[in-house]
Chain A
Amino acid sequence: MRYLPLTEADRQEMLAAIGAPSVDALFGDVPAAARLDQPIAGLPNHQGELQVERALSRLAARNVPAGSCPSFLGAGAYRHHVPASVDQLLTRGEFLTSYTPYQPEVTQGTLQYLFEFQTQVALITGMDVANASMYDGATACAEAVLMANRVTRRNRAVLSGGLHPHYRDVTATTTGVLGVDLVTLPADPKGIEDLAAAIDDKTSCVVVQNPTLFGHVADLTPLAEACHAKGALLVVVVTEVVSLGMMPSPGSMGADIVVAEGQSIGNGLNFGGPYLGLFATRDKFVRQMPGRLCGETVDADGKRGFVLTLSTREQHIRREKATSNICTNSGLCALAFTMHLSLLGEVGFTGLARLNHAKAVQLADKLAAAGVSVLNQGFFNEFTVQVKGDAAALVDRLAAEPILAGVPVSRLHPGQADLADLLLVAVTETTTEDDMDALVQALGGKQ
């Protein structure tokens, strides 16, 4: 067995040093009735690399990669081009195979990139500070509501109808057990809801996604003012983080907490995980933040270095009084993000966002010209179209071509007849004009 270095002779020598008659004897504390004498039946034995590769490649071949056909899938996960150097660097064993940086002298590499990551996230969200990552955007959203409750000592959160339903559900699941009062507005395909009207003196926060699930974009400044007037916080959710290269930052519009899905930068689709939760806030709230934080300090020689800090918020110190139970986070996804964003830089990040937006406008125009109705006035790289008949059935039909035509709204908001003909269509820099024409052809009424 290629991963196991001990020989039978080693084992015997080691048992002799231990003074144990057998390895079985080491398991003497296991109740006799629960001891297994043989490998578990019905499972295959070990296999070589070649055999494992063959078996799993066969499974992989039964999936249609999004990059192998025209794809317009978004709704919280986006296919972007990740530069080759990102993955090459990511697989360096010193990064890949290290643990959480508990011993800072031998993990300055990890700690420095976390410090860079936190700074980049703070810059693009327009906030003061960011943590070292959460599991994904949805869990970050739930944690934001809990944090807003701690900060305001209130217990009612208002969730926009433009919020991704999975984010809504994760938030409801997580906060429900704590008795948090959630006011959930109905799905808002037209982008016309009045969130300010839902705020009262008991509201801890308003959670609003920008762009919304349906692609609508908004200036959140008036909403932030309405929140602050009532002593509530504004939590802004961003599921397509590339939008921050073009849209005004949530911080500049008055957000108190910004949570985002960072997958778009540096990370592949991976069928939904692992992804990267971003979490940023104002300086004054930092001690209420969940998750790890890396901070700057000096070493015994007075040289700059980095350590994990403010850990008195965390489970390993505070146990049941911690701000969150999170321990393992999304470290390596954060590294991929920070490397990709370093490659992009100011020119690349703003350019990438403008390219995504321009291509989306191009597709929206082509669709409109073909008689397909686009619901959005404004959008970033994703918008909602109204198709003839059932959008889910259409998507299934086109998958046979294959064209991955987008995400039918009914898959996220099931059981609502008025949403059944809506389709979310996303465009990124990977979308070609041929891809667009294929979709226009497939959806267009005038062809």
Chain B
Amino acid sequence: MNTQGRKTTPDVESAAATDVGTYTGNRALVHEEPLIFELDNPGVTGVDLEAAPAVASRLGGLKAREGIGLPGLSEPTVVRHYTRLSQKNLGIDSTMYPLGSCTMKHNPRLNEKLARLPGFGDIHPMQPQSTVQGALELIDQLAHWLKTLTGMPAVAMSPAAGAHGELCGLMAIRAALQARGETGRTRVLVPESAHGTNPATAAFCGFTVDAIPAEANGRVSVEAVKAKLGPDVACIMLTNPNTCGLFEPQVKEIADAVHAAGGYFYCDGANYNAIVGRVRPADLGVDAMHINLHKTFSTPHGGGGPGSGPVVLSDALAPYAPLPYVVHGADGFRLVEHEGEVEQGAQPFGRMKAFHGQMGMFVRALAYIMSHGADGLRQASSDAVLNANYLKARLQDLMSVPFDGYCMHEALFDDRFLKDTGVTTLDFAKAMIDEGFHPMTMYFPLVVHGAFLIEPTETESKATLDQFVGAMRHLAGKAKAGDAAHFLAAPRYTPRRRLDETAAARKPVLRWAPPAV
């Protein structure tokens, strides 16, 4: 989400030293690490297998394959390789990672331990249901928490991530419209500030996308929504708190207007972490909302996934929830897997995923939720909002704030404070890296110029926030003092300096190939 098509190559050829001056090219703790293919020692393996029983192959006449081209590595080589790669990465374990909208909060290790219990990690999705009653109960317990916290009557557990949850919600809306015989509702309203997955999902679900302009105050107004409503509108996809880090004050009026016009309210719940325990989405008129368990409930992001995106549903949409789902009957928990087994009134719109959902994420999220409890979840969202407002208050005199007032869990700045400095948001982000921080989200949301979206989360201490403030003030001062060179040469201390993304896209090299001989 960090690009507005900004150029990412440095503007000036930096004069910084290229030659490290060591024989190996390593710099002490930072190693130059080849690709596994370049470490190949043919014939070596890191896994010892028992001898195969001596039987004739029965591959239906197919010839057994040889010469795949995988490299041979021993276990020590592999362990060292990936350890070295890990040392070229930042995680929330390493430093403050205020990547707005992505909610990089602490990932408790208890949750990792529990997800690996054989009773959760080593059960097969197609085991007889009598042998997985504890797993089904866990799904049911997590569903109960999600429903109670949001005030919604139902939840579809299977979506694999936020965008997949959006698809689930829109498919439920589509099914509900079909059931009402209103197939002419083909337009979906999406505010300009929305995350890219919202319009992409609407299109992926066969709707046309109609953008709602943002107001000057960063909010969506009920008038702007009303101006777009009509008999062909299926739903609005509104993010609340929105991607500018603001609570939509007219959210209830917007919901009412959409409902009055016969549409549904899909809420992008990526920012639900700001309001857990303080606001129930049901009280805002929401019909469907995904919850990114990998954001709000801290399941690790893992360098890009996996996630989990359960979708809470209103009474109007609940009957259309996809298969499979868990029900509680007289003889324990049961997984409803087929249309023929559904209870009276249910009309599942289909299936989203091969199996029942991201069980590994469910275990972690439930452990997180139980550790916090009702009191702790409310405290966590309160602290997340407090931390963001603290950053905003301590930085707003030096950086530029597009929207006044208190923010929710993330503080948004634009790049006006960098005007005429020769420093862009991207340059600034790279200098933050040298200061030891992961940068904020840049150039998103699109409705402000050169966005800095800073989300500290509740798991940063005041001492860390103060150090971050100090670094940001230092950098803002440097930029304003005319030291653009400092930024253009950044980052200096990373395993690699600025990477040429333009060249990567122009001539894509997407895999290793053996050197030509």
Contacts and interface: CB of A to CB of B under 8 A. Distances in A.
Contact of A307 (B10, B69, B161, B499): B499
A257 to B, nearest CB: 15
A89 B86 contact: yes
Interface string B49-82: 1101111111111111111111111010011011
Q: Quick one: which of B49, B104, B337, B353 has the most chain A CB within 10 A?
A: B353
A34 B500 contact: no
Interface string A147-169: 00000000000000000101101
A414 B60 contact: no
B50 A429 contact: yes
B70 A120 contact: yes
Contacts of B390: 14, 17-18
Looking at B171, B279, B280, B386, the one whose CB has the most chain A CB atoms below 10 A away is B386
Given A46-B375, A177-B174, A249-B65, A23 B382 contact: yes
Given A355-B49, A355-B50, A301 B197 contact: no
Given A331-B302, A343-B46, A5 B247 contact: no
A248 interface: yes
B301 A135 contact: no
Interface stretch (A77-85, A193-201, A437-445): A77-85
Interface string A166-181: 1101101110111100
Given A92-B83, A99-B99, A300 B126 contact: no
B303 A294 contact: no
Nearest to B134: A62
A106 B494 contact: yes
Contacts of B99: 99, 102
Contacts of B64: 246, 354
B510 A294 contact: yes
B36 A342 contact: yes
Given A106-B433, A109-B88, A135-B306, A343 B73 contact: yes
A268 interface: yes
A330 B252 CA distance: 35
B438 to A, nearest CB: 6
Interface in A28-60: 28-31, 33-36, 39-49, 51-53, 55-60
A34 B209 CA distance: 29
B283 interface: yes
Contacts of A305: 496, 499
B301 A362 contact: no
Is the interface on chain B under 10, 10 to 19, 20 to 34, or 35 or more residues?
35 or more
A108 B121 CA distance: 29
A295 interface: yes
A325 B160 contact: no
Nearest to B491: A105
B145 interface: yes
A80 to B, nearest CB: 11
A39 B375 contact: yes
B353 A136 contact: yes
Interface string B92-127: 111001010010101110101111111111111111
A349 B307 contact: no
A124 B67 CA distance: 10
Given A98-B303, A320-B200, A350-B68, A217 B59 contact: yes
Contacts of A322: 196, 200, 203
B356 interface: yes
A409 B229 CA distance: 48
Contact of A173 (B49, B199, B300, B352): B352
B303 A101 contact: yes
A273 B132 contact: no
B500 A342 contact: no
Contacts of B104: 97, 99
Contacts of B18: 301-302
A372 interface: no
Contacts of A244: 65, 68
B160 A169 contact: no
Interface stretch (B310-318, B364-372, B412-420, B474-482): B364-372
A270 B116 CA distance: 9
B511 A36 contact: no
B216 interface: no
Contact of A348 (B2, B45, B461, B500): B45
Contacts of B206: 177-179
B421 interface: no
A177 B37 CA distance: 43
**Which of A66, A300, A307 has the most C-beta atoms of chain B within 10 angstroms of its own C-beta?**
A300
B508 to A, nearest CB: 5
A13 to B, nearest CB: 7
A169 B127 CA distance: 20
A337 interface: no
Contacts of B66: 350
A349 B53 contact: no
A66 B500 CA distance: 48
Contact of A271 (B10, B132, B300): B132
B505 A309 contact: yes
B354 to A, nearest CB: 4
A371 B143 CA distance: 46
B304 A292 contact: yes
Contacts of B195: 316, 327
B162 A73 contact: no
B134 A116 contact: no
A384 interface: no
Nearest to A180: B206
Contacts of B72: 345-347
A44 B374 contact: yes
A273 B353 contact: yes
A318 B119 CA distance: 42
B231 interface: no
A102 B1 contact: yes
B351 interface: yes
Given A44-B374, A94-B91, A83 B46 contact: yes
Contacts of B60: 216-218, 376-379
A325 B166 contact: yes
Nearest to A51: B370
A226 interface: no
Contacts of B338: 414-415
* From A14, A327, A400, residue with most partner B Cβ within 10 Å: A327
Nearest to A432: B50
A326 B166 CA distance: 10
Interface in A409-431: 411, 414-415, 429
Counting from the closest, the 10 A-B pairs by CB-CB distance are A378-B60, A272-B355, A60-B119, A332-B302, A93-B93, A173-B350, A62-B134, A331-B304, A272-B125, A274-B306
Given A92-B86, A348-B45, 8 more contacts: A94-B93, A97-B301, A106-B491, A248-B63, A317-B3, A320-B200, A342-B81, A355-B49
13 contacts: A17-B394, A36-B278, A49-B110, A57-B114, A60-B134, A64-B123, A64-B131, A95-B82, A136-B355, A296-B509, A298-B499, A343-B46, A346-B70
